[in-house]
Structure 1
């Protein structure tokens, strides 16, 4: 099992110091490596749906960082990808987190409006361009999120492009904080200094 990856307190990586992300922090269960990638891929493409429970169990310790009124929002899939895959891995993880914590989950406040190619292998710049305008809010999003903290759930955090695109919209809807919870986080060489 991979080791838990933790940064104490409010520490920021070099990249985040240079360009502040839109979200308010990332909580990753593990560092992205061969084993964590295999687990993420088996959940996403291998229909090993039980892995969502394992991932949620590893993220559970971060629930203490969340205000009591926080709402879990999974990163959405485009309906065509959801139809072909049959499930959204972020929804499965979010559902397990909600079940274990008693937090509310709102899985359709955000929608993916643009079909995007898989981001795997793209640079940060390519990822930002690809997810630009790929998401939208439901018309009643402000009523659902105004003044509330959000836990945005995704499987892997690579460049932050997806989470920043989602966080921007969630904050536009009135969310007062967006924390990103993910299974694995890619740590760049600049973060290893």
Structure 2
């Protein structure tokens, strides 16, 4: 099991459990697009088991799932990453905060965009909830996401968190595109 990050983005270590293919791809699509909410537990369990092996040091993190814009979340009925993060928090004992960072704009879905289009699409797409800043300052943040392709989402989230003086930030994704492996 590799203990080094798959990537370093914006000075944040990024870990991915597997390549976006096969069963993981089906699980992500089922949870995300076909309302199979029960998959959140299994998704989180696989991620947690992998994370445990990576991090035997038992550091504590605050889990921050990638947020959806409120319009898209209302259309879908839920944020699939919040569901996974809640299950991951139960398994790990980590604290979870789904309100620390939020979407400031309803962006175009990333899957069909080029790297440059993704960067433009997500520029200034996240904001910090100032009510949480004092409570969480100095804590280690673990961003959770389903897939990393170009790294733009994580890069923007890390920049937003760092602008609010959160310096120890890591990211963990269930999967990555094949070209993201070092």
> Alpha carbons of 1:49 and 1:106: their partners in 2 closer, same or farther (altered >3 Å)?
same
> Alpha carbons of 1:11 and 1:43: their partners in 2 closer, same or farther (altered >3 Å)?
closer
1:21 equivalent in structure 2: 9
Q: Is it true that 1:162 corresponds to 2:153 in the alignment?
A: yes
1:114 equivalent in structure 2: 105
TM-score by length of 2: 0.89
Q: Which runs of 5+ in 2 are unaligned?
A: none
Deviation of 1:11 (Å): 6.4
**Alpha-carbon distance in 1 for matches of 2:177, 2:135:** 31
**Alpha-carbon distance in 1 for matches of 2:10, 2:31:** 27
> Alpha carbons of 1:43 and 1:11: their partners in 2 closer, same or farther (altered >3 Å)?
closer
Deviation of 1:23 (Å): 5.0
- What do residues 119-173 of structure 1 show as CA deviations (whole Å, max 9, x unaligned)? 1121111111101011101123421331111110111111110011111111222
Alignment of 1:19-168 (within 5 A): 21-61=9-49, 62-63=51-52, 65=55, 68-168=59-159
Cα RMSD for the two superposed structures: 2.1
Contact 1:23/1:180 (8 A) holds in 2: no
